A and B are shown apart, each in its own frame.
Chain A
Amino acid sequence: MRPTLVLLANHATRILLITLVGGFLALALARLAPGFGVDEREFDARLSEDTRAAIRQSHDSERNIFHFYFTWLSGLAHGELGVSPSLNQPVRLLLAERLPVTMKLLAWGLLVGWGMGFGLAVPLAFVRGCAYELGANAFATLFLCIPAAVLALFFLLTRSPSALVVGLVIFPKVFRYARTLLRQTAMLPHVLTARAKGLSGIRIFLWHYLSPAAPQWLALLAVSLSLALSAAVPVEVVCDLPGIGQLAWKAAMARDMYLLVCLTGIVTLATVMTKSAVELLGEFCRVRI
């Protein structure tokens, strides 16, 4: 019991530290980027000197990133995420409205990507050197070469569901990894023994291919999630989907510190938590096996 608790505590500490550092690094990058603290409204000739000065002063609290981060974290402890200066809306509200869009996009993307990648890889565990292998490899390589933004543009023009783009970005990686993993598993002694004993194909596949490699599959799932999150930004921008990917793009363009620190925190948290969950599950599977 005690080692499990220590393990969980270690993971929790790691998640917290990485998220905090990630948030700070995002702030530092935004602060150092050219154009920080500049507001395009300053260019509006209709504004008076006072208004322009007020606009400039509105960014004063963001200049010292240590102070800003500390204040933001204090607010976070009270459930306050701040107000986005570029969109003039509470960050919490913006996230609440946009997170479901991205979650849906990711869910469909993962489903499509895994469905295609895994679906194409499974037959290759049993057969080799045929036209199917050549075709499947070429198909996966093709999508590996096309940038997510170009795919998104194509899907936009053809009015196809944009979730497919995320799926097509993930699929080549899933396909290649799954193919290799399944082939390696097929050569393991226990699989050969099971075959020799005349067990059914489905049973061998489920119990002797998939189960022993569960930690690797889970690791692939974590990688897929990171890939899907990265793909969500260009897809949402090109297809004008109001998710957090599009929000991240707008925040970066406007050097919006409140949004950037929150979004980096969310993405880092999601990635690190998935990784930790996979590691913990892997550990659990290893112990069980």
Chain B
Amino acid sequence: MNSRSRVLLSLIFFFVTTLASAQGGGQLRFCLRSDPKTFDPVLVDDDPSERVRYITGGFLMRLNRFTQQLEPELATSWKVSKDGRTISFRLREGLRFSDGTPFSADDVAFTMQRLMDLSLHSPTGDAFRSGDGKVQTQVLAPNKISVTFPAPIASLDQHFDQVAIMSAKSPKKEMAVLGPFYVSDYKAGSYLQLNRNPNYWKHDENGRQLPYLDSVRLDIQGNRDTEMLRFLRGEIDLVDNVDAEYYSRVQTEQAGSGHDSGVTLDPEQVWFNQTPKSPIPAYKRAWFRSTNFRVAIWQALNRDDIARIVYRGRAQSAVGMLSPADKFWFNTRLTTHSYDRQGALKLLAQDGFRLQNGQLFDRDGHLVEFSLVTGAGNKTRERIATMMQQDLSQIGIKLNVVPLDFPSLIERITRTYDYEACLLGLTNMSLGPDAQMNVWLSSADNHQWNPRQKQPETAWEAEIDRLMRTQASSLDPKKRKEAFDRVQQIAWEQAPFIYLVNRHALSAISPKLHNAQPAVLQPYVYWNIDRISKSAEVASK
């Protein structure tokens, strides 16, 4: 065979294989806000890496973002032991990683061992650290494995929603994946190209191999204005998380492209610094430690107005630590604190505060004035702070807003405690109380209003500690729910956090995309990326 024939044959082979692997679903383009820090699924601790892991990883089971139910993926079934320490999986057979390496129980064992390796400090692994001792994996057969933890773990199976299985044998290590796409090209600061995994195991109802899309291009785009501009120009196909301001613009300029999936899990919240070692005047700390003062502030803030004006109606007044989006864990007996200026003044009067010439004074004659730190450059929070200023001025309180860049803000609230009140939004990545332990236990670092307490300083914090430990050690969902309902109730009454609003899950989706089903859990739009297509024909086949 001469060289010309060889070249010709190679070209034919290239085109045939390319055509065979292409699905005709097109290329999906959207943006990541910054570069992913890692492609190693065990070490993921930032949002972009988490998004890449979501798209490329193969998981034993997944939480359906729409139904909020666990669904089998690489594991066809699983069983949690009665003592809550062991989980056994039956795995799908005949699967291969993106590079062709066969998948077996050894890969699950390898992933679990890496995940629990203390020297790696895996954030995903932290969810499984229930007690001292080693995690034991037992490969019972190539398609059967059991994992035993040193102590019981509540909602053990749900934690596997974050565990992407790695190959124990592939020379490509973490770049060999079981998800619908694999990373084929990455230019730091510019883009990430994900190609369709030819060995992806899932098929649609007609037996057609998924994913429908041929590739995904993730452009690294830190500037949200630019991202929206590019969407409106048709250069990208979706924006997963849209601000309310942009949402209105999308609705105006491209009717039908904006999607409001309803209220999210994420609250915007304010808290007062109650830390004894903080360098704030003692009389101010006394205000902040008063339940009446905190509840009065909660009542004095018109949260419906915040939702209406700042979020243009795309948010709702928050009830408490959980939003109604968490269908199982939300305490439905709670209702939002009503906006009641007179009620707020009555509560303040009980603590000796008095309104004089439009200004509020405490019983020792100190003018009630405090500062509120928040993240600089976050337009939404700056607007919320302005509205809070106006609302509090109605009851004679002067609020000074101090926007800080994020590292300075975190330094103040976690190290120096040099602040009076803070406005921040929390992102809840998972349902229920599991990720809330570090917030509600009085000894925890993230117990923001008064962290790292040696002993609970108040009776209600001691009660929350007890209830949180009870729910974490119980394997009965009913008992857990009862305990956590009570925690929500106490948090609502004591108001260590003043919950303002829960924003809606807003996204912008090009009309060219098919099968997108926006949900309220992240990722909002592409949680079912293997079924999304840019071709109507492919999607409807």
Contacts and interface: CB of A to CB of B under 8 A. Distances in A.
Interface of A: 34-36, 38-52, 54-55, 87-89, 93-94, 97-98, 156-157, 237-240, 242, 246-247, 250, 253-255
B405 A247 contact: no
A142 B538 CA distance: 54
Given A47-B45, A87-B188, A88-B37, 8 more contacts: A35-B408, A36-B411, A43-B410, A47-B126, A98-B189, A237-B223, A250-B34, A254-B407
6 contacts: A41-B123, A45-B435, A45-B438, A46-B438, A87-B188, A97-B188
| Size class of the B contact interface (CB-based, 8 Å) | 35 or more
Contacts of A89: 35, 188
B414 A38 contact: yes
A156 B229 contact: yes
Given A35-B411, A52-B445, A242 B129 contact: no
Contacts of B410: 35, 38-40, 42-43
B446 interface: yes
Contacts of B334: none
Nearest to A243: B189
Nearest to A52: B445
A253 B45 CA distance: 18
A94 B190 CA distance: 12
A90 B37 CA distance: 11
A46 B411 contact: no
Contact of A43 (B38, B118, B414): B414
Contact of A238 (B121, B223, B446): B223
A34 B408 contact: yes
A264 B333 CA distance: 58
Contact of B407 (A36, A46, A51, A98): A36
Interface of B: 34-35, 37-38, 45-46, 118, 121-123, 126-127, 129, 187-190, 220-223, 226, 229, 404-411, 414-415, 426, 429-430, 435-439, 445-446
A40 B406 contact: yes
B220 A242 contact: yes
A237 B129 CA distance: 40
B45 A44 contact: yes
Contacts of B187: 97, 242
B188 A45 contact: no
Given A47-B438, A97-B188, A38 B221 contact: no
Contacts of B37: 87-88
B123 A47 contact: yes
A130 B437 CA distance: 76
A131 to B, nearest CB: 38
Contacts of A88: 37-38
Contacts of A242: 187-190, 220
A145 to B, nearest CB: 23
A112 B37 CA distance: 36
B191 to A, nearest CB: 9
